[in-house]
Amino acid sequence: HTTAPIKKNIGNLTKILGILALIVSASVFVVGTLRGVSPANTFLFAVASAISSIPEGLPIVVTVTLAIAIGKMAKRNAIIRKLPAVETLGTVSAIVSDKTGTLTTNQMTVREIFTESHSITISGSGFKPTGKFIDTYGGDEIKPLDFPELKRLLEVMALCNDAQLRDHVDESGEFWQVHGDPTEGALVVAAMKGNLEKQDYEISHPRVDEIGFDSAHKYMVTFHGIERNAGVLACMKGAPEKVLSMCSATQAGADTRPLTKEKIAEIEEQASNMAKQAYRVLAFAFLETKEMNHDQLKAVIPTGKKLVFLGLAGIIDPPRPEAKQAIVFCKNAGIRIFMATGDHKLTALAIGEELGLSAMDHSKHGIEGVELDDMNDEDLERALQSVGVFARVTPEHKHRIVKALQKMGYIVAVTGDGINDAPAIKASNVGVAMGIAGTDVTKEAADMVLVDDNFASIVNAVEEGRIVYENIKKVVKFLISTNIAEDFIIILAFLLFPLLLEIQDPNEILIFTAIQILWVNLVTDGVLDITLAMEPKEMDVMRNKPRDPDAKIIDREILKNTIYVSICMGIGVLTVYVVYHGMNGEVAIMKAKTMAFVLLSMFQVFNALNCRSRTHSVFKLGFFTNRWLIGSITFSVILQFLTTVLPPLQAMLSTVPLTPLDWVVILLVSSTVWIIEEIRKLVQKRK
């Protein structure tokens, strides 16, 4: 994975601020020496000036903000395994998602069966094994075990299967749960609805070998001993086109008939019609023989047309209701969604249209894996500009799609659950593993694990990633405004005070002490910045396009705004200092410095309200929507008051008591920075 954008941004910002710190501290040391300030004070102030140029709390705030976001994401069913992924999620501009279980409910149900002699609709839903077999044309209920081809079909469904269906009882009552693949579980449920128990047939037909399912060959075969005649039964399920290519006959009642080209065309048309209805279509076949043992049969099946075709099963996996809404959010947020599934192209397109993917890409076309194989990289990039549905794809195809999108400039999040998905997950900017269906290898390679395998959880995580980055920008702006204001005040004080004021002691141009600068940076800002990072999301966070990951954290607009706010703060502090310095006596100088110190801290209190949003007024946001910030503001004001009345703090910070009138002056002057910003936001909104 590439370096997280926030890490690069903070690194670049730190370099700039480091250079600024050296320039400011060197200038302070040189000017202080020329002005006759004592070497000790000049050195301490130069060091303090360097510190004032650097937002010391920023690394802590970034880490805490990311940690808070991890907690929020966990509550929204997204477990972050790698901290930088939190912020990277906010830059995601494309999501390559599986279909089954992520965009759909993964509550598979066999709804239709098609054989040589029957077209059947099965009632019921979910994994509860109760339902009826209804003849599609006559509307009558039938008993499938009374018909040889239907009985054989249910046998193959149950035997060529690794799933188990178990009932459980809890406070809410009885419920059924599939242990294994949900698609296979749906086949077990269909067999049980027809009064065929998987466990009974596994006893009379023990499995002796198998050809496991693989996304490349798209079928599975199991081999079983037959107790009654010592023969071998081969049971196959898989993609219709693959199963048909390995069959030479079809079951019709108790007999078999040759599988003609016309019959193949009829079956393919039926499979296509089922797929158009968003069914996942599986085909089934078998071969029973006493002439070969299972090893010989295993070697022969993949090489020729030996099997007897039984029929098709249409399995419905309805889209998640929340996934459709999440896709709308993605469209508004400028994030493109790509569905990559192993299902039939028509099934994928039907689900994609129901979810709104075709409307998102203005295309009702999809691409199959075999078409991808014939495309060069340029062709694929052109296709990705308009196509959002990919069917019959392998993990290798998914990896290629991810790399092509990245080459086109997208920041890609990709989902996966199988071991073979690990390369695509590692190649992506944000790898997302399934918490329920995912393998340990996939989870280890991923940046994020979905507890509920739900697409909406990815979108929620992207939203949190955007919120994190926006809040970090708010904190950076808040902290930088303090640093610029301090530098502005220090430099102008050194340059102008000897001209404007009657300086009795060169040390009078040191408007702040080193301890006061550290207090503002570490205590006042430190209390406020953490709670500012907890700012709730703004209404338009998912209505903007993904940001450029290479964009600077302080853009030109923020920099201009920060500089003018800092200048306002600086002018306010310097004006108050000059006015109070004009009073007679040494006490006036101490009071002027106290006023400047307290005023700078109070400026930051009001500036924290400004930084809650770049565009929205605090009145629109609501004063109490961030209660943590209001609490920290209250604490900061009380703490600042205590610095002027508690003797230990007075001694440490060189402050003197202030009168109620002084506090009125401080509140009136410091609030100007908030009033000016509110006016700016109002004017900008009207424009």
Catalytic residues, by residue number, are 98
Distance CA 529, CA 625 (A): 16
Question: Is 124 within 8 Å of 109 (Cβ atoms)?
Answer: yes
Closest to 497 measured CA to CA, from 488, 512, 513, 509: 509
Residue 552 to residue 482: CA distance in whole angstroms: 19
Cβ of 547: how many Cβ atoms within 10 Å? 18
Q: Which two tokens stand for residue 426?
A: 């590692």
Nearest-10 Cα torsion for 132, 138, 142, 147: -130
User: What is the Rg, in whole angstroms, of the alpha carbon atoms belonging to the chain?
Assistant: 35
CA angle 666, 667, 672 (to 5 degrees): 100
Record the tokens describing residue 221, joined without a space. Answer: 């075969």
Round to whole Å and give the CA distance between 591 and 101: 68
Report yes or no: 179 and 164 within 8 Å, Cβ to Cβ: yes
Q: Are 476 and 13 in contact (CB under 8 A)?
A: yes
Q: Specify the long-range contacts of residues 437-444, CB closer than 8 Å, at least 24 apart.
A: 437/101, 437/106, 442/416, 442/417, 442/418, 443/81
With CA atoms as reference, report the closest residue to 149 among 286, 350, 335: 286
DSSP per residue, 33-81: HHTT--HHHHHHHHHHHHHHTS-TTHHHHHHHHHHHHHHHHHHTTEEES
- Cβ within 8 Å of residue 331, ≥6 positions away: 356, 360
